[in-house]
Amino acid sequence: YQQNPKTYTIVKQLLAEGNAGELQKYFGSRMEFGTAGLRAAMGAGISHMNDLTIIQTTQGFCRYLEKNFSDLKKRGVVIGFDARAHLSSGGSSKRFARLAANTFISQGVPVYLFSDIIPTPFVPYTVTHLKLCAGIMVTASHNPKQDNGYKVYWENGAQIISPHDKGISQAIEENQEPWPQAWNDKLIDSSPLLHDPYAMVNKEYFEDIQKQCFYRNINKETNLKFVHTSVHGVGHKFVQLAFKAFDLSPPFAVPEQKDPDPDFPTVKYPNPEEGKGVLTLSFALAEKDGARIILANDPDADRLAVAEKQESGEWKVFSGNELGALLGWWIFTCWKNNSRDTRAIKDVYMLSSTVSSKILRAIALKEGFHFEETLTGFKWMGNRAKQLMDQGKAVLFAFEEAIGYMCCPAVLDKDGVSAAVITAEMASFLATRNLSLSQQLKAVYDEYGFHVTKASYFICHDPKVIQQLFDNLRNFDGKNTYPKSCGRFKVSGIRDLTTGYDSSQPDQKAILPTSTSSQMITFTFANGGVATMRTSGTEPKIKYYSELCAPPGNSDVEQLKKELDELVNALEKHFFQPEKNKLQRKTE
């Protein structure tokens, strides 16, 4: 019996052709449910995102929540979606969100389903704000257009961490047969259990972020012009509202990219991290309208890229680490000068992930607040922030180099909407001091020490090669020995978060949690350099991140950059061995 004629037809066609290879790809293995939830292409079969796999996933999640919350039927869950859609399989974020809502409602669980597209951070915001048991966001963020995803938040408003992923995964395995009314999403429209939080959140979120607005009078007067692009995603309306909440004139929106379009027609990849290619239309509009600053969200508006026109007429696109340094400096300065927060500085915290720049550590040391590093990914920062807040601490800011920023305690995840408007206020304030963002960044580095970073990745589709590459690093000069040097650079410390080894700890055991399912090794070098190699959870990439930190007063930046370039070249040559391992370089 066919429930979705489109996926049914795809499978029927393959059967008729006797195409065993494709059928194996569609039905050979189920999508894995991890801490990031699901992320896969839309299409037929259990290896793809479609009506059936969404129903099965939600049935498992629902049973897992019933087991964990005795008051699930009182509190309920929130579900949001972006604007992704896939014509050939009939899948769309909205359709998936409605099917998920139907699954919960069929079991008597109240569902707060957004009636329209929203930025991802609205889901964790709603979980916290309405004290719900969980949240689901249907989005594939900045992935290619054929992909979709299913992102899960726990009652604390942060993304899930282990062991919840394993528990949910097991529950999905145990609940694969669709429940009686699983496909009939029309049922929810007349259900008293269905609520729409759209109007409430659109009011209260924008009230909450105003606690981070400190220079309303400057915002009203500023002559600074901004360009904003939502890269065919959901961000346009919400960034306009955020500017209004801060009394800033609305940013110029890139007309070709402001409306949601699941085909992302003007970009090769809808990922502002990929740099200038995604910003071509923004540069053109900024030149036309005389704007000096560009703010770019990814399609689900949880991340932010920023570019600024330099004196030379060139555009500088800030790296995630550079914007992290600026926002960290700004948010701390605002807290110190304007905050009505009476907590002592010893109760103030900032966080960043272990592959991000340690600039916050340098600022914290000099100013007297706390800095902590977490594992990679906002799930760790969100969960740690909640723990600290529950102990009465103030968590002012958290960031990761992949252009993710958490600037408001109301959202325990990265939020590109609040980050965009806070960046605009910072730029407007600096303009009254005749400073650009670039000049202020240099001032931050002058005061706290230069931090130069360089990150990239290699693409590798063969898990065996990846495994071998990391095994080689763990058995470099004979069994169980790590490299003592990398070209001319002496290695002074090793932390392996796959095995739990850390040479710098008295008992040689790493402090951060370890995970055998992903690869991650950090090398510290005698020259003060740090480099981390890790596998990606969502893409076939081996990534690396490197940084050189100088103490304040060492202002020879060019020399630092040259030294880091040489370190990275040695890392690629000796540790990655791209020719031998047939690795594909990141193409600019």
* pLDDT tens digits, 91-143: 999 999 999 999 999 999 999 999 999 999 999 999 999 999 999 999 999 99
- HEC secondary structure over 445-489: HHHHCCEEEEEEEEECCCHHHHHHHHHHHHCCCCCCCCCCEECCE
pLDDT at 341 over 80: no
Which residue is catalytic, options 47, 89, 141, 352?
A: 141
pLDDT at 312 over 90: yes
* pLDDT tens digits, 192-236: 999 999 999 999 999 999 999 999 999 999 999 999 999 999 999
276 token code pair = 């200038």
Question: How far are the Cα atoms of 429, 431, 440, 455 from residue 434, in angstroms, in the given order?
Answer: 9, 5, 10, 32
Predicted pLDDT at 550: 87
Domains of the chain are 5-195 (3.40.120.10), 205-316 (3.40.120.10), 321-448 (3.40.120.10), 450-585 (3.30.310.50)
288 token code pair = 């036309």
Helices and strands per DSSP (H, E), number in the chain: 19, 25
* pLDDT tens digits, 355-375: 999 999 999 999 999 999 999
Tell me if residue 549 falls in helix, strand or coil.
strand
Rounded to whole angstroms, the Cα distance separating 142 from 271 reads 5
454 token code pair = 């360089």
Residue 344 half-sphere exposure toward CB, CA atoms < 13 A: 2
10 Å CB burial of residue 64 (0-12, 13-18, 19+) is buried
Predicted pLDDT at 530: 96
Q: DSSP letters of 331-353?
A: HHHHHHHH------GGGEEEEEE
Q: What percent of the chain has pLDDT over 70?
A: 99
Q: Which residues pair with 533 in a beta bridge?
A: 521, 544
Phi, psi of 425 (to 5 degrees): -65, -40
406 token code pair = 């958490």
Predicted pLDDT at 552: 86
* pLDDT tens digits, 165-198: 999 999 999 999 999 999 999 999 999 999 999 9
Predicted pLDDT at 276: 85
Rounded to whole angstroms, the Cα distance separating 189 from 185 reads 8
Catalytic (active site) residue 141: yes
Predicted pLDDT at 553: 79
What contacts 387, CB < 8 A, 6 or more positions away?
none
Short-list 382, 406, 388, 384, CA closest to 323: 406
Res. 1 pLDDT band, cuts 50 70 90: low
Q: pTM for the complete prediction? A: 0.94
